Structure 1
Amino acid sequence: MLQVSAHLAIPDDELVERFVRSSGPGGQNVNKVATAVELRFDIAHSPSLPEVVRARLLARRDRRVTDAGVLVLNAQRFRTQERNREDARERLAAFVASGLHAPAPRIATKPGRAAKQRRLDAKRERSTIKKDRARRTWD
């Protein structure tokens, strides 16, 4: 059971782990032992995710989420299979936890009076520079 938050946990039977050879550190072991972990989690069809969280996670433009709604995480930072497995599960928990909270709505604001004045002053100054250039005659 992967505990994401106090209210949300993902059962192990929803996670698919595959162990492959790593390209990272490991010395001679790297060619013999499958230490890298490929963790797959089907966001689109997971019964443990609330509907709003599922929608938020699928709406993210993340290259790790396939068109079918499956999140694929590759972990190969560490030399041992167990540590890579923990790393992949931690990253999955962080990804799902990021979808638990709705982003605050953006409130549109208008520029203040001082900002408008600075903009107009800069335009006026630039205009003066260009006018002076045109009046000057170069020998």
Structure 2
Amino acid sequence: MSILSDLFGLPELEQELEFKTSRSSGKGGQHVNKTETRVEIHFRIPESALLDDGQKAVLLEKLGHRLSEEGVLRMYSQKSRSQLANRDDVVRRFYELIAKSLKPVKKRIKTLPGKSQKEARLADKKASSRKKELRKNPLDDL
């Protein structure tokens, strides 16, 4: 188990990640042109052995806009000039994304408005009514 998987309460998903490196774009001068510092990961959700069917369904639904047609999640990092730092960054962001996606959404419990909220709403209505009443022409009542 890695420290990240312990932090996010997830199984060791790193063994199911495919890592690819390539040349990074952006600043870095000659270093960028010579070394492969950009790290890209691919995670095949439907083929995962560590996730159960329910978790796979949740991930496919919640991350649908980020997945390929085959259900592959692709993430990359090229922030640093170091391949190792970029690898750590993309793995950390991967675990955060998976943990956030698997966290159950709390169902909202409907409640009635409190006494102070009712009074505030009525006060606003009275103020609005008074404002509109003052707009009227006083001669229209005659």
The one-letter code of the counterpart of 2:104 is: A
User: Partner of 2:36: helix, strand, or coil?
Assistant: coil
Structure-1 separation of matches of 2:76 and 2:14? 19
Pick the structure with more helix per residue.
2
User: Partner of 1:16: helix, strand, or coil?
Assistant: strand
Alpha-carbon shift at residue 7 of structure 1 (Å): 6.2
How big is the alpha-carbon RMSD for the aligned residues of Structure 1 and Structure 2? 2.5
Distance 1:128 1:108, change over 3 A: same
Structure-1 separation of matches of 2:14 and 2:93? 16
Which deviates further from its counterpart, 99-108 or 88-97?
99-108
The one-letter code of the counterpart of 1:9 is: E
**TM (normalized to structure 2)?**
0.78
Structure-1 separation of matches of 2:10 and 2:39? 27
Structure-2 separation of matches of 1:91 and 1:36? 15
TM-superposition CA deviations, 1:113-134 (whole Å, max 9, x none): 2212211210110121111112
Can you give the 5+ residue segments of structure 2 that lack an aligned partner in the other structure?
none
User: Partner of 1:41: helix, strand, or coil?
Assistant: strand
Match of 2:136 among 124, 134, 137: 134
1:98-109 equivalences under 5 Å are 98-109=100-111
1:38-117 equivalences under 5 Å are 38-61=40-63, 63-117=65-119
Can you give the 5+ residue segments of structure 1 that lack an aligned partner in the other structure?
none
Structure-1 separation of matches of 2:138 and 2:46? 69
Distance 1:45 1:136, change over 3 A: farther
Alpha-carbon shift at residue 62 of structure 1 (Å): 6.3
The one-letter code of the counterpart of 1:8 is: P
Structure-2 separation of matches of 1:121 and 1:45? 60
Match of 2:33 in 1: 31
Match of 2:22 in 1: 20
Distance 1:61 1:41, change over 3 A: closer
Alpha-carbon shift at residue 63 of structure 1 (Å): 4.1
**TM (normalized to structure 1)?**
0.80
Distance 1:129 1:77, change over 3 A: same
User: How many pairs are equivalent?
Assistant: 136
Which deviates further from its counterpart, 91-100 or 112-121?
91-100
User: Partner of 1:4: helix, strand, or coil?
Assistant: helix
